[in-house]
Amino acid sequence: MAVSLTDARNALVRERVFQGVEQALSRDGAWTFASVAKAAGVPERTLYRHFPTREALLEGVFDWANARLGFQGQLPEDSAALQALVRRCFPGFDKLAPVVRELLLAPEGRLGRLKQKARRQRASLRLVRCEALTLSTSDERRLAAILQLLGQAATWHALREYWDMDGAEAAEAAVQAIELLLEGARSRGTRSRSRSRSRPGPDRSRGRESAIGGRR
């Protein structure tokens, strides 16, 4: 299906605007509609026509940043896929560090982050179940929550801020945590099954004696 001239022009303007956000943040650590319009080389009224609010603009930046990272919305549903995603995206966050930081810290950035909240939760729960872990419902939910967080930009940012790690090292730290968490969960499931098998059953001979003797 051919793209209309209007759609192609709008896509070009939006791309220039997103790049303008990146330039403004890289230069000043902050942005306004005026600074983005100047960096993008478009009139400010054009910027408002495409993005009437800061929330709308940052939501668009969120999708644009994901596309730059090569993330097309496919969420990992097993440990190998999660680790591969972390190793691919964390170094990419370094290249978009000012943008990613703004999306994490700006109140308006919550819209983009929370847009897929329920879908991300379901995928993380499927990941835990895919790993064939024998856990209680509450433990399963807690593990899924932590694994989801380990694969997100917030973990990359925390390791960058507090441990001065670049994206590659942060990715390996997150991957190691993922492996250790799953190993511990499997061990807990094994111990639970072992305790269940070793737990003594009812003493049927004592029950027969009681019935015969008429004891209550």
With a cut of 80, say whether residue 126 has pLDDT above it. yes
Please tell me the predicted confidence (pLDDT) of residue 140: 93
pLDDT classification of 87: cutoffs 50, 70, 90: very high
With a cut of 60, say whether residue 197 has pLDDT above it. no
Please tell me the predicted confidence (pLDDT) of residue 216: 41
**50-83 pLDDT, tens per residue?**
999 999 999 999 999 999 998 888 899 899 999 9
3-state DSSP: the chain helix, strand, coil percent, rounded to 5?
A: 80, 0, 20
Contact 18, 99 (CB under 8 A): no
**129-148 pLDDT, tens per residue?**
998 778 899 999 999 999 99
Q: What percent of the chain has pLDDT over 90?
A: 71
Average pLDDT over residues 182-205: 63
With a cut of 80, say whether residue 46 has pLDDT above it. yes
Please tell me the predicted confidence (pLDDT) of residue 65: 94
pLDDT classification of 16: cutoffs 50, 70, 90: very high
Question: Which own/partner pairs from 173-182 qualify as long-range (CB within 8 Å, at least 24 positions apart)?
Answer: 174/86, 174/90, 174/150, 175/83, 175/86, 175/87, 177/150, 178/79, 178/82, 178/83, 178/86, 178/147, 178/150, 178/151, 179/79, 179/83, 181/143, 181/146, 181/147, 181/150, 182/79, 182/131, 182/133, 182/147
Please tell me the predicted confidence (pLDDT) of residue 214: 44
Average pLDDT over residues 39-59: 95
Residue 190 has a CB neighbour count (10 Å cut-off) of 12
Domains and CATH numbers, the chain: 1-52 (1.10.10), 72-197 (no CATH)
Residue 181 to residue 179: CA distance in whole angstroms: 6
With a cut of 50, say whether residue 28 has pLDDT above it. yes
